[in-house]
Every structure is written in structure tokens, then in C-alpha cells.
Amino acid sequence: MPEQKARIACLLSGNGTTMSALLFQSRLPDCPYDIVLVASNNPDAPGLKIAAAEGIATFSHDHRGMDRREHEKIMDAALRKSGAEYLALCGYMRILTADFVKGWEGRMVNTHPSLLPKYKGLDTHQRAIEAGEDYGGCSVHVVTPELDGGPLLGQMPVAILPADTPESLAHRVILAEYQLYPRMVADYVGRHYRADWLLEKVRELAMGLPEAEERESHGAPGWRSGGKSGKYFAYLSEKHHGEPHIGLLVKTGGPDEVADLAETAPETYYRPAYYGASGWVGIILNRPGVDWDHVAEWLERSWRSVAPKRLTKLHDAADEF
């Protein structure tokens, strides 16, 4: 559980029931996010009153009579002022421009009442029933400029009964959404603190280096280069020896550099048990705002310290083109 929770803003236009599902989830133990703002294009939206009663900051600005982009600028300014890192659409009945979506790329999520990619857009339940589907359902996805077309985070099927109408099916699908949306949002915004997600990020970067090979060492994932006689240039340490960190261990110039890094930037680096004395530093990964370009630079530097010269020469030559 991270010490600092992800900050989420919700956008809504109506009753705020989906927002409420996210809000009450945030009050449960170990939830990785807090809601810092509920914003609306409708100053009379009941969801704003619910949020205010629960002690959540609210903002509204009526879109009527305004240019779409000008309205989005006002909403965007309020969202950013709140410190929100992510946006959750909770029945926001406005089509967002590609520029707005791009400004929150990879950080905006939505729930849709169908099993995407089926039945994008409106009238999803009617269309599913008319098509003779056995199941309707809901999907949670990352928002992209393509309508209901972003990467899926999760889905929940809901059986269609013989006597179902669009209204009766919608009633059960919304109950499924109230379960699925908070769980998928929590998983998505909390992924940066999970060892499995961090391992995949490190693996992608490490295996992109010439002749890199992944091999476990003392129970930890490690990467080496140079074939059978190769040496390790990185390890992933998951809270080993009582440390609170999930860290990437990389080689430095020696113990003095390790001590300097750990002292001057303790929010980023630490001196790992046993390895620190040998000139390895730990880069803390389970924290907000990891600079993955910086991590990649450290991996390459560490790789260069152990890779055969033939590989570094080839790598440098490839970089020139």
C-alpha cells in the first residue's frame, strides 16, 4: 500500500451514482486512490451535492452557450489546480475533443455499458437484446480519442433474460458497473506500486539492451550480458532484507557514489543491504512519479560496465544511425 495515494478527479453531468461507487471504495482500507475533485458541466447536477456532503471539493461551469474548446479549457484548469493525476468519467455527457484527451493521455478512464468492442456509443442494451446476445455487460477502459475504443482494463458480463427490456437490463448492468469500475480504477492507478507491473517495465528496458539475458539470482530477477561468462548488470529487489522498497539495483562507480546518491536524493535512491558495499545502488520504483527515461539511462550505464567491448561498440554504432 503506497504512503501517497493517487489523486483522482471525477467528471459527471448527472446523479453521481458511479462517482459515489468510486468515492466509497476510496474510503475502504488499502484503496490506492483519493478523490480530490468532482467537476461538472451542469451546475445543478445532483452528483455535486453528494460530493460536497461527503467533504469532496466540487467545481462546475455550465457549457451552454460556450465554444466546446473554451469550456474544456476552463474545466481543465480546475482539474489541474486540484492536483488530480487521473480523471474518471462518471456519466459526463460531453464529447471530449482529441486535444483534451491527449492532455490526459493514459490518465483518463471510463466505464461503458457493453462488452466492448461490441455496441460502442448509445442504446447499447437495446442493440444487444435485438441482436439476440446471451450477455450484455460493462467494460472499463482507458480513454482515447476513438469513441469507446481505448485499451480495456476489465469487463463483467451480465446475462440477458428472456423477458428483458433495455430498462431491466440496464438496471442490472449498472449494478455490475458499481462493482467493476472502482476495482479497475484501483488496479490501474495503483499498478505503479505492484511488483509484477514494475518487473514488466524493468524487463522491457533491460531486455532491450544487446545480448541481455534474464536469469534469477538468489531468488530475485536479474539481467546479465555477455553470454555464458557474462556478468549481471541489474537486479529487481522486492523488499529484501526488510527494506521497504521495490528497487532496481544497478552498478555505480563505487561505494562513495552510492553513499552520495542515497544521502542527496533519498526519495529516489537507497543503499541496498549487502550490495551497497560492492557499489550497487537501489533506485526506488514503488513511488510516485518514477522517471523511466532516467531508469533506462541507469540500466544502460550499468550494462556498459559489464558488457564486452564488442557489444558496446556495436550499440554505439547503432545509436549513430
pLDDT of 137-157, one tens digit each? Answer: 999 999 999 988 999 999 999
Active-site annotation holder among 61, 63, 71, 112: 112
The verdict on whether 112 is a catalytic residue reads yes
Rounded to the nearest integer, the mean pLDDT of the chain is 93
Contact between residue 166 and residue 125 where contact means Cβ atoms under 8 Å apart: yes
Helix-, strand-, coil-residue percentages of the chain, each rounded to 5: 40, 25, 35
The single residue listed with the C-alpha cell 480523471 is 87
pLDDT, position 320: 57
pLDDT, position 124: 96
pLDDT, position 317: 65
pLDDT, position 232: 94
The strand pairing partners of 250, in sequence order, are 234, 281
pLDDT, position 1: 47
pLDDT, position 109: 98
Residue 264, classed as helix, strand or coil, is helix
pLDDT, position 78: 98
pLDDT, position 125: 97
Q: Per-residue DSSP letters for 97-160?
A: PHHHHHHTTTSEEEEESS-TTSS-SS-HHHHHHHTT-SEEEEEEEE--SSTT-SPEEEEEEEEP
Intervals of the chain under pLDDT 70: 1-3, 314, 317-321
CA distance 310 to 308: 5
The strand pairing partners of 40, in sequence order, are 12, 60
The single residue listed with the C-alpha cell 471539493 is 57
